[in-house]
């Protein structure tokens, strides 16, 4: 795990992520639903090499965490259609510019993940480069 795993970006731990409605890449409305066990919000940029390297591991992160995944990613609709089909993703894929990611979640570095509990409270956050970093990040602040 790299020393810069946690950056001073994103919402504060203990802060509530408010339920919001976003538009998916295919035009459907998606409301953040944290369910009883929480969710993982992943913010990526297709113009970031570390983010592109993380793409194949997002399904692994979802499987290992057991949490709902919301992937916020910049780019264009065609890119997201291709990614979704190639990786066979069946979770929420939301087209959001890096400026919008900052406005919604105060995220200014990528690839960035926010883990919330069932109430939308931030339990852990940080920059991750692979599924192992994600597991280590969540172990640093286990959801009680």
Q: Which residue has the tokens 């259609």?
A: 81
Q: Which domains, ranges and CATH numbers included, belong to the chain?
A: 21-140 (3.40.30.10)
Cα–Cα distance measured from residue 48 to residue 68, given in angstroms and rounded to the nearest whole number: 24
Cα–Cα distance measured from residue 104 to residue 87, given in angstroms and rounded to the nearest whole number: 26
For 11-59, the pLDDT digits (tens) are 999 999 988 899 888 889 999 988 788 999 999 999 999 999 999 999 9
- DSSP codes, 56-68: GGHHHHHHHH-SE
What global pTM score does this model have? 0.89
For 32-43, the pLDDT digits (tens) are 988 788 999 999
């Amino acid at each position: 795990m790299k020393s810069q795993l946690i950056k001073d970006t994103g919402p504060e731990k203990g802060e509530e992520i408010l339920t919001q409605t976003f538009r998916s890449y295919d035009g459907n409305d998606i409301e953040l639903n944290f369910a009883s066990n929480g969710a993982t919000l992943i913010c990526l940029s297709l113009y970031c090499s570390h983010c592109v390297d993380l793409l194949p591991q997002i399904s692994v992160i979802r499987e290992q965490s057991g949490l709902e995944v919301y992937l916020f990613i910049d780019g264009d609709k065609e890119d997201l259609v291709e990614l979704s089909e190639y990786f066979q993703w069946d979770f929420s894929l939301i087209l959001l510019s890096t400026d919008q990611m900052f406005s919604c979640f105060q995220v200014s570095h990528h690839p960035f993940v926010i883990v919330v509990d069932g109430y939308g409270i931030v339990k852990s956050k940080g920059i991750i480069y692979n599924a192992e970093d994600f597991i280590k990040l969540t172990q640093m602040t286990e959801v009680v």
